[in-house]
Amino acid sequence: MKTLTKAAPNNCTINFEFGLAEAESFNFLDDEELRKLESILKEQTLQVLDVFCAASYHIREADGKDKSLKFDYNMLRFVFKTKNMELFIFHERGIRRIPLDDLTLFLINEINKELAENQQETLVRKHMHML
């Protein structure tokens, strides 16, 4: 986790789970949800995509066992415009082990890796919105 944020405690690992908004709930992102999203994108252009982001933390103890720490829950809103995209992040619940600036940079870097692999234009961070 130190590569994600300098604020991380020692021996801490992080796992992310993402969910996509559908009506008034979120469905965790799996192969089926990804196929549904790809099908929707073939038929229409999204203006907004709401994503639930759960971050779970674990610390490796001296005896080698992992100890679970509390989760952080964040809501991500991607707003797509003609020539740019805006990302809004709202920290829903948890102690916020990852500063929102660090989470934003991490997400942008991960998205850019995928875009570069597909030889598409990468994202440029112009400014940050804090909610």
Q: What is the pTM assigned to this prediction?
A: 0.77
Q: Which pLDDT score, from 0 to 100, does residue 50 have?
A: 92
Q: Which pLDDT score, from 0 to 100, does residue 60 have?
A: 84
Residues recorded for the chain: 131
Strand partners, 20: 27, 51
Contact 111, 105 (CB under 8 A): no
Q: Which pLDDT score, from 0 to 100, does residue 48 have?
A: 92
Q: Which pLDDT score, from 0 to 100, does residue 5 have?
A: 65
Give the separation between CA 2 and CA 24, rounded to whole angstroms: 35
Average pLDDT by stretches of 10, the chain with 131 residues: 62 88 85 90 90 90 86 91 84 88 87 87 67 49
Contact 102, 109 (CB under 8 A): no
Q: How is residue 79 annotated by DSSP?
A: E
